[in-house]
Amino acid sequence: MSNLEPLRQAVALSPNNLPLLLLLGQACLDEWILDDARAFFERALAIDPLRLEAKVGVASILHLSGKTSEAIVRIESVLSENADFGPAHLLLARLHAGEGNRRDAQSSYARALTANPLLRDPGLEAQLENNPPPQGPRTPEKITAQGYSSDPEEDEHLTPPTSADLSLPTLNFADIGGMESIKEEIRMKIIHPLKNPALFQAYGKKIGGGVLLYGPPGCGKTLISRATAGEIKANFLSVGIHQILDLYLGNSEKNLHALFELVRRHTPAVIFFDEVDALAADRNDHKGSAGRTLINQFLAEMDGNVGNNDGLLILGATNAPWHLDPAFRRPGRFDRILFVPPPDESARCSIIEVIARDKPIHTLDVASLAKKTRDFSGADLQAVFNLAIERSLSRAIRENRLIPLDTEDLIKAAREIKPSTKAWFESAKNYAIYSNQSGFYDDVLAFLGIKK
């Protein structure tokens, strides 16, 4: 029995398990079983037509089959959906290299490494004559008194965002266990106004605004943000600090403004800033630095002073709200501040049920597992499943037979994983007790059972 057989059996037991299909497709590709690999990747696309890994997999098969032109067309289509998807840039680099187009191959390879340095390919570098493309920003040669380069070519490295940077998430609230109060707050902010515009206009309420989500890591802040866009079928833009910060003075502000302008042109839309404290830190920590001007630009964008924010929901997530500049908590900016705690037992049951969908599980006592995972975040629960699945897969490969999970496997894995939320509450408790004059951390105190 081949090493692929346990994976094939797992897919037979759970035919709609997307990660398993992708894993089996890649395994077949690695073994040059191209027809089977393509079949599994196309099954994955039938389940999720937007799955980029499956699209790259199909393009890779076309490449290995000698259909280079079709592979290039497909991979360029992937990059039009997500311009920062590293595996697509890597495959495009290989395709260009195979066509003898060394310059384009170097450019694509550079973008692949920028997206993910772990994609480095020594073989491709050798094919490019051991001359890997330059990485990292150029050193500025001159800055004028206003802070901008006097050479117009110095702005060449700025790539304006396009609609290709937006996505339409398929995830919605039904896919997220628990968090009902947070979902309702978000419904009031944008979902209900979109469905009842005349009623909200009668009360003078605009569609959109700002919502700040804070709490321990892994409790679903990013997930609920993406599901919000999916719930209303809105465009979604997730902004990372690397998309904004720039070496040249003034360009960070330009980048931030360009991102806001992009989503304003495609409302209704959700723009999401993960780890927003990195961009919106207290200005007292930036005395005399360029960080203050970036924060001022961020505030102006949120106020709508430089553009119309109607129909735009601005979501920010942070694990360290105590580092946020107080000006962001003013009404009209992040005027809904929501504590995202670890899920309670009922919510853990819902999360477990969601995670368990399409997993090769023989029996599952959801309530028993939920009781054994007190203080676990959603990410911790996912880690429990990952650990149990890895062990079952390891046994399946050794014994060449399918070994489904059961409740005991998951409870055993849960005993070995410590809740990641406890360290966060140790820090948050001090701020909630000693730096809570405005009542910002009342929800943290209530969760900990501490009276004011």
Question: What is the count of structural domains for the chain?
Answer: 3
- The pLDDT, as a whole number, for residue 416 is 92
Bridge partners of residue 314, in order along the sequence: 210, 271
Residue 158: pLDDT band (50, 70, 90) is low
- Rounded to the nearest 5°, which phi and psi values hold at 206? -85, 160
72 and 200 both lie in a single domain: no
Residue-level pLDDT at 409? 92
- Give me the count of residues in the chain: 452
Determine the distance from the C-alpha atom of residue 111 to the mean position of all C-alpha atoms in its chain, rounded to a whole number. Answer: 19
Q: How many CA atoms lie within 13 A of 433 on its CB side?
A: 10
pLDDT digits (tens, 9 = 90+) for 47-72: 888 888 899 999 988 888 778 778 88
User: Do the domain assignments include residue 160?
Assistant: no
Its domain, for residue 255, covers: 165-339
Would residue 255 count as lying in a domain? yes
Residue type, 138: R
189 with 283, same domain: the answer is yes
Average predicted confidence (pLDDT) for the chain? 81
Q: What is the pLDDT of residues 208-263, one digit of tens each?
A: 788 899 999 888 888 888 888 888 888 888 888 778 887 777 888 999 999 999 99
Helix orientation angle between 5-13 and 378-399, rounded to the nearest 10 degrees? 130
CA distance 433 to 445: 8
Q: Given this model, what pLDDT does residue 164 score?
A: 59
Q: What is the mean pLDDT of residues 154-173?
A: 68
**Is there a domain that residue 123 lies in?**
yes
CATH number at residue 318: 3.40.50.300
Q: What is the pLDDT of residues 358-406, one digit of tens each?
A: 788 878 999 999 999 999 998 899 899 989 988 888 888 888 877 888 8
Asked, for residue 250, whether it belongs to a domain, the answer is yes
Same domain, 189 and 294: yes
More confident residue, 65 or 426: 426
83 with 211, same domain?
no
The whole-angstrom separation of Cα 173 and Cα 445 is 27
Of 304, 339, 374, the position where a domain reaches its end is: 339
At 3 the pLDDT is 59
Give dist(CA 200, CA 310) in Å, integer: 13
Cα(126)–Cα(355) distance, integer angstroms: 43
Same domain, 29 and 54: yes
End-to-end CA distance of the chain: 65
Here the CATH number for the domain that contains residue 21 is 1.25.40.10
Is there a domain that residue 105 lies in? Answer: yes
The pLDDT of residue 152 is above 50:
no
Q: Judge whether 145 lies within some domain.
A: no
Tokens, residue 171:
């995830």
Alpha carbons 68 and 76: distance in angstroms, whole number: 12
113/36 same-domain check: yes
**Cβ–Cβ contacts within 10 Å for residue 208, how many?**
23
Global pTM reads: 0.61
